[in-house]
Amino acid sequence: MEARLSPYTSPIMSKVFKHLSAASRLLREESTLPVATQELVLLRVSQINGCGFCVDMHFKDAVHEGEEPTRLNLVAAWREATVFTDAERAALELAEHGTRLADGAGVADEVWENAAKHYDEEQLAALVCLISLINAFNRGNVLTRQPAGGYQVGQFR
Judge contact between 51 and 138, C-beta under 8 A: yes
pLDDT tens sequence across 14-69: 999 999 999 999 999 999 999 999 999 999 999 999 999 999 999 999 999 999 99
In which band, very low, low, confident or very high, does the pLDDT at 72 lie, cut at 50, 70 and 90? very high
Q: What is the mean pLDDT of residues 62-87?
A: 96
Q: What angle do CA 157, 134, 28 make, to 5 degrees?
A: 45
Domain count, the chain: 1
In which band, very low, low, confident or very high, does the pLDDT at 103 lie, cut at 50, 70 and 90? confident
| Residue 156 is assigned to a structural domain of this protein | no
Judge contact between 144 and 12, C-beta under 8 A: no
Query: By residue range, what is the domain housing residue 39?
Result: 34-143
What is the pLDDT of the chain when averaged over all its residues? 94
CATH code at position 77: 1.20.1290.10
C-alpha dihedral, 121 to 122 to 124 to 128, nearest 10° = 130
| Residue 126 is assigned to a structural domain of this protein | yes
| Residue 75 is assigned to a structural domain of this protein | yes
| Residue 19 is assigned to a structural domain of this protein | no
